[in-house]
Structure formats: C-alpha cells, structure tokens
Amino acid sequence: MNTPQAASTSTSSWRAAGHATVLAEVVDPYLDPDTGLLRNLVGARTKRALDRAEGDLTYIRAVELLERPVPATGDLDEFRAIHRQLFQDVYPWAGEVRIVDLRKNIPGAEHFLSAAAIDRGAMFAAEELRDDAMLRAIDRDRFIARLSHHYDQWNFLHPFREGNGRTQRLFWNRVAADAGWQLDWRTVDGDLNDAACRIAAESRDLGPLRAMFDRIVVLPEAAADPTSALGLFAQRTEG
C-alpha cells in the first residue's frame, strides 16, 4: 500500500524533483476516515471486500481493453484513459492524477515523484519514449534494455493513488504489441516485479528489471493465449 506525504520542494531534474523532502504526514483525502480504506463505489468496508471487488471488476475491464484499446497516444493521457477504464466501477477518482505525494509503506522506501511534478515529469518521460521510436524496429536485447528503462521511469512517476502497476502493464502490453512483441506476465509473480522495481528506484540498477523482461518478452505466436498479457493483473504490484 502507498503512504501519502506532504508536498515537497523540487530541483532542475524532473526525476530528482520527485524525491520528496517529507515535512509531515498529511490527511489522505482518498481514504474513508471511518474504515481507513480508499473511498470506493462498491460499498466495501473491509480490505478483503475491497480487494475482491476491485480484482473482479478490473479484470473484466482489462479484458475489454484488450479487445477495445484506448487511443495509443504514448503519454499521460493514455495512462489516464487506461486507469479510468479499469477502475471506473471501483473508485470515484478513476483516471485522475493523484494530489498527494506517495511512498511505498515499507521501511526506508523511496518516494515517488511529487504530485506537483507529475504533469511535467510525464511530459519528459513521454518525449523520451517518442525519441526511442516507441521501442519499434529494434532487436530483442535492445527492446528489453529500453523497456526496462522506460518502465522504471513511469513507475517513478506513479501518477495515481492506486492501480499504477496494472495501468502500466496494460500500457506496455500495447507498446510491446505495436513493436512486434508480447509480454507474457504469467511467467513472473508480483514479488519479483516489486523487488525489481525497488532495486531500480533505490540503486538505479536496472539489472533485475532486464532479467524480468528477458523472461516475459516473447514473439506473439509464442503466447497464443491473448490473456497471457494479464498474468499479473489480479495482483497489486509496484511496477
């Protein structure tokens, strides 16, 4: 789970700007004070009930997205459209960029990009992806290396209060398909994904992410089941 933090200062680099200087714990407007859960549209009052409803409803929406993708703009607008489609039945803020700063709720966790810097950071991240030709016309090794870099960049952006990992994986499924590859998420679990993301964020070591993608980047005919792209979907993961 993510923990909200107070707003922070920024520096010239968009990524450096996101490392929040924590001033104080803040009241999280996304939480219901009576239950401590994220405010939701399903009436859930326990974490188990919310997780169950969220998993069931978003999986249905994810299958719909595989059949009818949102416009492929390659930027924050596409992320927001995916998130809105996925979580429209669960959260009233589906598709909205978060307004609180976040870090993972584990000891020593790094902060994600500050809320105030998300729009600007996303602009630079999208421009860098366009400069990489959306990862098209490159060999598999280069595709894995650059995908790992961009996956880490967008994970650091973490534009939503919840649901970033599922949104990001659907985005990269689309990018991979347009580049002639498929991501078979059935071959990894959430713990592996989360550990690789944390190492990348905290030590700038993309090795574990590259190793993860080396396992899941396949030619489309090697993963004949189209739902292989949803292998991690029911799990809340960091990336």
Tens-place pLDDT, residues 103-126: 876 666 678 999 999 999 999 999
pLDDT of residue 16: 66
On whether the CB atoms of residues 91 and 38 are closer than 8 A, the answer is yes
**pLDDT at residue 27 greater than cutoff 70:** yes
pLDDT of residue 10: 36
pLDDT of residue 187: 87
Distance CA 27, CA 147 (A): 35
Distance CA 119, CA 129 (A): 15
CATH number 1.10.3290.10 is the correct assignment for the domain at 2-230: yes
Distance CA 52, CA 57 (A): 9
**pLDDT at residue 235 greater than cutoff 60:** no
pLDDT (mean) for 118-147: 98
pLDDT band at 7 (very low <50, low <70, confident <90, very high): very low
pLDDT of residue 103: 82
**pLDDT at residue 193 greater than cutoff 80:** yes
CA-closest candidate to residue 204, choices 15, 13, 2? 15
On whether the CB atoms of residues 125 and 27 are closer than 8 A, the answer is no
**pLDDT at residue 223 greater than cutoff 60:** no
pLDDT of residue 104: 74
On whether the CB atoms of residues 223 and 177 are closer than 8 A, the answer is no
Tens-place pLDDT, residues 74-97: 999 999 999 999 999 999 999 999
Q: Which amino acid is at 206?
A: L
Distance CA 192, CA 102 (A): 21
User: For all residues of the chain together, what is the average pLDDT?
Assistant: 87
